[in-house]
């Protein structure tokens, strides 16, 4: 790896203050701006372009599996929200309410959508009559509001963008298959597009989504050793159908309750990318979601033919990747630092001497390695280098996660790791909620998931010493 000289002095070192580093990055890279509405952010064009690339890729994956996009209202009548008691209780502390329409007080309060299960249930009740109407495979791209007490851009805000999938099926088996299938979609996207390794598993009852029978999750590890829940998929059984009296006539001509799922991911994924791949110079974006994959920088642009050649190269690359050229009068050094900060995967430098040699310089953002490439070979070499950056980011993130994953067989070992070694902790659990609560109280860790790939790291529960049921990943989390 090339020497990592710090190019952007305005960004706090992540080793010095990780939270300040994160804030510096989202501001300096022009991803967001704060607004007059506390806890809400304005997503700037560069930040929104990242979200658009995330949205485009996920949307195509959903549609390939037969899902259709819909759009439900943003307001939910209080009486509708209250139909599923466990669900509403889970969201009650975060709900924002509309009590006036214009100057008139509303007869019934309207909840500003924190999630849309109840709206979809109302819709299903209106359109589902027969087994022939099933399944319904829906998704929507909307914003939601949750009145968070502590906020941080992308990670936790009072209004945020997301997608929420909602499906309804004739059988429990179909619904359970859908729940796991969509979790696999998220895992595939996180690893192959965001270059972010994840652990797949099921949440404990304590961490389960309100109203769900099972909640599945993909958990990633950030640069500072904290976990981040990157997407979830929920199996509801027929609980919502019963609460909303949704029934269909099955093939045997009897009335039955259908089974439901929901699954979602949010702009939190942008925060995950920042904290997984970023460094002290700013963003490091995986090529698959980078708004600009290659930035072309003319060097000594005042000399004859340089800008023209750079524009020619840009036009050629525009046919195979997302490319921009910077022809401003800022110095090359300023431009280098600017696009380092914005995380552009490849920088192409071209000057008079390069033109004489029919070459250019390509610099990777992830490790700053330079390559001298013939201009005749750009169409083959640029895709290779972009793929190398994508794969390199994943390999680096995976190595870090493995290095920051620890095993604890006893409570003393877990307490020591939690205090001195940020990261995931693999430890056995008896299944008792009291032990889960105690570990949070004593060590500040929560259960991240019960991984599908189980390991036997001890015979007894790490907390109480009784026989263990499952191995869990524990950790401090965002």
pLDDT-derived band at 5, boundaries 50, 70, 90: low
Given a cut of 80, is residue 285 above it in pLDDT?
Answer: yes
Tell me where in the chain the CATH 3.40.50.800 domain(s) lie: 294-389
Tell me where in the chain the CATH 3.30.110.30 domain(s) lie: 405-475
Tell me where in the chain the CATH 3.30.930.10 domain(s) lie: 18-277
- Name the architecture of domain 294-389: 3-Layer(aba) Sandwich (3.40)
CB burial string 341-361: b at 16+ within 10 A, e below: bbbbbbbbbbbbebbeeebbb
pLDDT digits (tens, 9 = 90+) for 112-147: 999 999 999 999 999 999 999 999 999 999 999 999
Cα–Cα dist 329/56, whole Å: 34
pLDDT-derived band at 92, boundaries 50, 70, 90: confident
Given a cut of 80, is residue 8 above it in pLDDT?
Answer: no
Cα–Cα dist 275/28, whole Å: 15
Average pLDDT value for the chain = 96
Q: Which CATH superfamily is domain 18-277 in?
A: Bira Bifunctional Protein; Domain 2 (3.30.930.10)
Q: What CATH code would you report for 405-475? A: 3.30.110.30
In SS3 terms, the chain reads as: CCCCCCCCCCCCCCCCCHHHHHHHHHHHCCCEEECCCCCCEEECHHHHHHHHHHHHHHHHHHHHCCCEECCCCCEEEHHHHCCCHHHHHHHHHHCEEEEEECCEEEEEEEEECCCCHHHHHHHHHHHCCEHHHCCEEEEEEEEEECCCCCCECCCECCEEEEEEEEEEECCHHHHHHHHHHHHHHHHHHHHHCCCCCCEEEECCCCCCCCCCCEEEEEEEECCCCCEEEEEEEEEEECHHHHHCCCCEECCCCCEECCEEEEEEEECHHHHHHHHHHCECCECCCCCCCCCCCEEEEECCCCCCCHHHHHHHHHHHHCCCCCEEECCCCCCHHHHHHHHHHCCCCEEEEECHHHHHCCEEEEEECCCCCEEEEEHHHHHHHHHHHHHHHHHHHHHHHHHHHHHCEEECCCHHHHHHHHHHCCCEEEEEECCCHHHHHHHHHHHCCEEEEEECCCCCCCCECCCCCCECCEEEEEECEC
pLDDT-derived band at 3, boundaries 50, 70, 90: very low
Of 2-6, 259-263, 339-343, 346-350, the poorest mean pLDDT is in 2-6
Task: Report the pLDDT averaged over residues 179-195.
Answer: 98
pLDDT digits (tens, 9 = 90+) for 28-51: 999 999 999 999 999 999 999 999
């Amino acid at each position: 790896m090339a020497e990592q000289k710090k190019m952007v002095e305005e960004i706090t070192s992540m080793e010095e203050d990780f939270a300040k580093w994160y804030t510096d990055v989202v501001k300096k890279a022009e991803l967001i701006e704060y607004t007059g509405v506390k806890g809400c952010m304005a997503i700037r064009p560069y930040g929104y372009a990242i979200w658009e690339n995330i949205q485009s890729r996920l949307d195509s994956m959903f549609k390939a599996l037969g899902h259709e996009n819909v759009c439900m209202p943003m307001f939910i009548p209080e009486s509708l929200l209250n139909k599923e008691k466990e669900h509403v209780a889970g969201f009650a502390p975060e709900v924002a309410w509309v009590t006036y329409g214009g100057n008139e007080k509303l007869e019934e309060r309207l909840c500003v959508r924190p999630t849309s299960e109840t709206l979809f249930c109302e819709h299903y009740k209106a359109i589902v009559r027969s087994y022939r109407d099933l399944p319904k495979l829906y998704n929507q791209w909307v914003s939601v509001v949750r009145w968070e007490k502590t906020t941080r851009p992308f990670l936790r805000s009072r209004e945020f963008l997301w997608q929420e999938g909602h499906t309804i099926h004739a059988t429990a088996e179909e619904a359970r298959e859908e729940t796991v299938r969509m979790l696999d979609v998220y895992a595939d996207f996180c690893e192959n597009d965001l270059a972010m390794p994840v652990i797949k598993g099921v949440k404990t009852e304590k961490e389960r989504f309100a109203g769900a029978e099972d909640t599945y999750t993909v958990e990633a590890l950030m640069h500072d050793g904290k976990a981040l829940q990157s997407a979830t998929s929920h199996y509801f059984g027929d609980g919502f159908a019963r609460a909303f009296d949704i029934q269909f006539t099955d093939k045997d001509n009897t009335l039955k309750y259908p089974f439901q799922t929901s699954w979602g991911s949010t702009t939190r994924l942008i925060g995950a990318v920042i904290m997984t791949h970023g460094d002290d110079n700013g963003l490091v974006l995986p090529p698959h979601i980078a708004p600009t994959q290659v930035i072309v920088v003319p060097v000594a642009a005042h000399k004859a033919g340089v800008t023209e050649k750079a524009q020619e190269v840009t036009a050629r690359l525009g046919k195979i990747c997302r490319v921009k050229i910077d022809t401003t009068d800022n110095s090359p050094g300023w431009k280098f630092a600017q696009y380092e900060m914005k995380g552009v995967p490849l920088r192409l430098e071209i000057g008079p001497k390069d033109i004489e040699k029919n070459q250019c310089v390509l610099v990777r953002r992830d490790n700053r390695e330079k390559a001298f490439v013939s201009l005749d070979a750009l169409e083959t070499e640029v895709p290779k280098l972009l793929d190398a950056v994508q794969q390199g980011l994943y390999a680096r993130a995976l190595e870090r996660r493995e290095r920051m994953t620890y095993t604890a067989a006893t409570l003393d070992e877990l307490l020591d790791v939690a205090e001195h070694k940020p990261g995931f902790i693999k430890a056995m659990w008896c299944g008792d909620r009291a032990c889960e609560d105690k570990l949070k109280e004593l060590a500040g860790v929560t259960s991240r998931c019960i991984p599908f790939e189980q390991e036997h790291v001890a015979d007894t529960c790490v907390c109480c010493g009784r026989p263990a049921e499952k191995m869990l990943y524990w950790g401090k989390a965002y």
